[in-house]
Structures are given as structure tokens and as C-alpha cells.
Amino acid sequence: MKRIYMDHSGTTPIDPRVLEAMMPFLTEKFANPSSIYTEGREVRASLDQARVQVAKALNADAGEITFTSGGTESDNLGIKGIALGRKEKGGHIITTTIEHHAVTHTVDYLGENGFDISFLPVNKYGQVELETLENEIRDDTFLLSLVYGNNEIGTIQDMRDIVKLAHKHDVLVHTDAVQAVAKIPIDVKDLGVDLLSLSGHKIYGPKGIGALYARKGLRLAAVQHGGGHEKNLRSGTENVAGVIGLGKAMEIGEIGLTTEIPRVKAMRDRLVKCILSELEDSYLNGHPEKRLPHNAHFRFSYIEGEALLLNLDMMGIVASTGSACSSKSLKASHVLLAIGLTPEQAHGSLRLTLGKGNTDEEIDTVLEAVPKVVKKLRAMSPLGHGGGK
């Protein structure tokens, strides 16, 4: 049975073109880019070229890109780098209740170390409202960190307006764009964001590589110290093959915005429409329009997500859930609770994130399988009923 992979927000396979670009740097072109002999200089040149590729896809300058080990490190470097790079001690940081743990736990750490942290609530779609933000900004607020496209429910923030408001109050804006890059067009100059995190393995690049965009002129402290790589911001011999792969993945991703993404979005739209009309007491979490084009996040009453996910797994369909029962902590997803769902409602969630490899035939299969499984579980549930319309 061919497996149907619909967890592209979890991770993606490496694009063959990306792998091809990387291969020489895993084999013959192994020199350390810091070495001054010919082989080293050649690798350095390729590394610089990849930096240009990443910058170009974001409309940034190459000097504004720092390579990291991934989204988590980029979030750490962006947030801690700004907080610890300030002349003043302490101060106020604003973030939201729907961030990835890479942001939440980073600001928690700063909160334990002399900074004040506020978590902004979001509306039922998972969006930050401008009025809520403005009320939270204080004289000593220096940073707002806000996820651009949410990894669970897919909601996209009105980033341009948010940045404008933050800048009016001299507050810098960091955004975790790990899920948004190569899904929606991103122009850092147009958005106005000061810092932006991205990751390789969410965009058909390799794992273990990411980047932080930091606008020219910002003062950042290093989080990892050592030999002074990446302009002293991130020491450690460069993950050369990873960097080359990320550059290629960004280049392919940008082209895909006009070729691949419309196809993915059409499949996603059909999936959502058919599931919601086929099953009663089913809902779409997140914003109906302002959402990542590959994300479908459902909620089904009377059933639990882990059971749903495992049934789909047995039918060859790979999905994800925000149910507490599938998490190590046994707590429901903080994002689902933040948009106002009760723990009971959060249990019945299902995330399907589509990608390049998916086909219309696969959507047909999923459209048959999901209602079947939901009805099977509802028939077992003391809360529910048959469930069909």
C-alpha cells in the first residue's frame, strides 16, 4: 500500500534538486570554508552564494542572513540576541499564546532572568488584534515576537499592520516564519519585520539547517560563542551541505509560490469543503481565508484525535493531531486552548498538511477514509451518534 503523507508541517522530504546540490559538499568539496587555501576558498564562495539565494527569496541583503541549525535556534538567537544585546538591563517582551515552544520557552527563560513577558491573547481565529497589542505595549517594551503562519491551525497574521503599530511605539518585531516561508510570498522590506526565523526541513530542504534574518543595524548578542563564525553571531564550523541545501530549497520554494502552491491550495480547499459537508459536527479550526495554503485543521465532536490518527495510519494516511492523548505531556495543544476551544473540543482535532507529493487521487482516498473513521469512532463513543449527514 502506498502511504499518503499529509504531515508536511511536521517535516518534508528533501527535493531531489536540493540533494543534488548538496552532494558534492558531503563528498569531494569537504574543505573547511574558513581555510585560506584554494579548496577552502571555493567552499566559502559556494556558501556566500547560498546566502545570496536565501536573501533574495526574502528580498533581504545577504549580510542580513545568519545560518543556524534550524527554526528553534533562529528563534533563540533572534529573541535572546536582541534581549541580551541591549545596553539597558531587563525590559518588556510581548509574545502571544499561540507561539511554537521555541518562542514560548525562550521568552519563559528570559522571564526567569530579569525580563517581563506578556502573552497576548488571540481571537477565535488565532489572530492578534491591533487594539489588544496596543494596550499591552509599555514604555519599556522593546520586542514583539509573533508567529507569521501558525504551525497548528495555519492562521496568518496581519503582519504589516502589526509591524506598523509596533514600530510606532519603537518596538522591534521578530516573527517565526518557519511555516510561512515558501507557502506565502515574504518580502521582509515590505512587511517591515526586524527579525525572521526560517527552517530548511519544512521547505524540502535538509534537517539541521535554518536561518535568521536580522535587519541591518540591529545589535544582537551571540547565543553560541566560539571561533567567530557568522559575523560572530553563531560560532561553529558551518554546516556547509546544509547551507547549500537551504539556499537551493529557498530558490525552488520561491518559484513554487506561483506554480506548486496554487495546486496545493486547490487540493486543500476541496478537502476542507468536502469533509465539512460530509460530516456533521465538524469544524475548521483557524481562519477560513487567512490561512496557510497547505493547512487543513479540523475538529470533530464526540471523538478523540489519537484514535483518529492511528486509524488513518492503519489505512496508510499520515496525519497529526493536537489532542492531549497524543502528546507526551498529556495536555491539549496550547494553540487550540488559546483560540477558545475547551479541552474536550481540542481532543477531536486533526491536522492535514499537504505538499508537493500529494495528488488529487490521494485527496479522493482521504475524503473516503476520514468520514469512515470518524463515523466508526463516533459509533463507539458514548458521547456521539452515527455522525453522517
Partner 1 sequence: MYSEKVMDHFMNPRNVGEMKDADGVGEVGNPTCGDLMKIYIKVENGIITNVMFQTFGCGAAIATSSMITELAKGKTIDEALKLTRDDVAEELDGLPPIKMHCSNLSADALRAAIEDYRKKNPGK
Distance in Å, CB of 320 to partner 1, minimum: 15
Q: With binding defined as CB under 8 A, does residue 383 bind partner 1?
A: yes
Spatial CB neighbours of 283, under 8 Å, sequence gap ≥ 6: 276, 298, 299, 300
From candidates 64, 176, 194, 304, binder to partner 1 by CB under 8 A: 304
Q: Please report how close the Cβ of residue 333 comes to partner 1 at its closest, in angstroms.
A: 12
Residue 202 in the binding site for partner 1 (CB under 8 A): no
x/- track of binding to partner 1 for residues 350-379 (CB under 8 A): -----------------------------x
Shortest Cβ 284–partner 1 spacing (Å): 21
Three-state DSSP at 172 gives strand
> How many of the chain's residues bind partner 1 (CB under 8 A)?
24
Is residue 311 close enough to count as binding partner 1 by CB under 8 A? yes
> Cβ distance 244 to 232 under 8 Å?
no
> Residue 266 or residue 383: which is nearer to partner 1 going by CB?
383
C-alpha cell recorded at residue 3: 502511504
Q: Is 314 a residue that touches partner 1 (CB under 8 A)?
A: yes
* Least Cβ distance, residue 345 to partner 1 (angstroms): 9
1 lies in the site for partner 1, by CB under 8 A: no
By CB under 8 A, the residues from 317 to 336 that bind partner 1 are 323-326, 328, 330
Question: Rounded CA gap, 385 and 383, in Å?
Answer: 7
- Out of 307, 312, 350, 370, the only residue in the binding site for partner 1 (CB under 8 A) is 307
Strand partners, 4: 317
Stretch that binds partner 1, among 179-187, 190-198, 222-230, 302-310 (CB under 8 A): 302-310
For residues 137 and 362, what is the distance between their CA atoms, to the nearest angstrom?
47
Closest contact distance (angstroms) between CB of 282 and partner 1 is 16
Contacts of 152 (CB under 8 A, 6+ apart): 9, 98, 285, 286, 297, 322, 333, 335, 336, 351
- Cβ neighbours of residue 13 under 8 Å, at least 6 residues apart? 5, 204, 357
> Quick one: which of 174, 291, 294, 347 contacts partner 1 (CB under 8 A)?
347
Residue of 45, 266, 314, 325 marked active site:
325
Cell 518585531 belongs to: 173
Q: How far is the CB of 329 from partner 1 (least distance, A)?
A: 9
d(CA 103, CA 87): 22
The residues with which 318 forms a beta bridge, in sequence order, are 5
Q: How far is the CB of 350 from partner 1 (least distance, A)?
A: 14
Query: What is the distance between the alpha carbons of residues 119 and 147, in angstroms, rounded to a whole number?
Result: 13
340 binds partner 1 (CB under 8 A): no
81: which 3 cell numbers?
Answer: 540576541
Paired with 114 in beta bridges are: none
Residue 274 is among the residues annotated as catalytic for this protein: no
User: Exactly one of 114, 262, 343, 388 binds partner 1 (CB under 8 A); which one?
Assistant: 343
Task: Please state, in angstroms and rounded to a whole number, the distance separating the CA atoms of residues 135 and 216.
Answer: 29
The answer to the question of residue 386 lying near partner 1 (CB under 8 A) is no
Distance CA(66)–CA(70), nearest Å, equals 11
| Interaction of residue 344 with partner 1, rule CB under 8 A | yes
In three-state secondary structure terms, 7 is strand
**Strand-pair partners of 53:** none
Instruction: Kindly list the residues in this chain that would bind partner 1 in the complex (CB under 8 A).
Output: 302-304, 306-307, 310-311, 314, 323-326, 328, 330, 342-344, 347, 379-384
Annotated catalytic residues are: 325
